[in-house]
A = this chain, B = another copy of it.
Amino acid sequence: MDDPGNGCHAALVQLQAYLAQMDHAGETRLPAERELSESLGVSRGDLRKALAVLEKDGRIWRHVGRGTFVGSGPVEETIGISEIAGRTNPADVMRARLILEPEIAREAALHATLSDIAAMRQSLVQTREAVTWRQYENVDNLLHRQIAQASRNNVLLGLFDVLNAVRRTVVWGRLRSEGARPPADHHSFADHERIVEAIAERDLGGAAAAMRLHLQQVERRLIPVREAAE
């Protein structure tokens, strides 16, 4: 049932030749089945059987409405934030931040330019000048992203953006109602200054440690402390 007639085998041979010829040209998408079957002189059924073999072998992949392509997998072009956010919780987000952001701060300490550091310091000032929770959050977001940007690694920056988007989706509408004014002696002020200072001094380990400490403070504030439990 898998190799019924010789027509199927002939189609597979022709297809492999076509693939080899096409792979050299750097083209990834091959013609529609209706065209290709006529072009190769085989029936569409046999062509589809040959394509199925190659697909199971991982040499091509197909998708309805798009076409048939050479390569191992579809390489999703976009990642849905809500897809991730819908299947997770604040604790997991916090864990991911604790893993990623300290290392990003370390990279920033290694690669930040002077203008990066100047921009961070300006954000520090703006953080203290915020008169609204919303404003504070905005500047806080900006500062963290500036640190990621200072790593001079666009992959890390992209991962940070994804994580940030997931975080904002997952904790949406949480800390809204607790008074509309900025906290005067908020721990984050000193935390942020320590982080930026370590980056400015090129203290790799210090930057990572300061960021880790800051995030642990945030975590402690996010989840009401249950000291007796642990």
* A interface residue numbers (CB < 8 A to B): 26, 57-59, 71-73, 75-84, 87-88, 92-93, 95-96, 99-100, 103-104, 107, 132, 134-135, 137-138, 141, 153-159, 161-163, 165-166, 168-169, 172-173
Residues on B with beta carbons closer than 8 Å to the beta carbon of A157: 84
By secondary structure, the A interface counts as helix
Partner of A134, one of B58, B76, B78, B172: B58
- With CB as the reference atom, state the residue of chain B lying closest to A158: B84
Q: A72-B138, A162-B162 are in contact. Are A156 and B77 (CB under 8 A)?
A: no
6 A-B pairs besides A84-B154, A92-B155 with CB distance below 8 A are A58-B135, A72-B138, A75-B165, A76-B165, A78-B79, A96-B156
Contact B134 A84 (CB under 8 A): no
List chain B residues, Cβ under 8 A from A163: 155, 159
* Contact residues in B for A84 (Cβ distance below 8 Å): 154-155, 157-158
A107 to chain B, nearest CB (A): 7
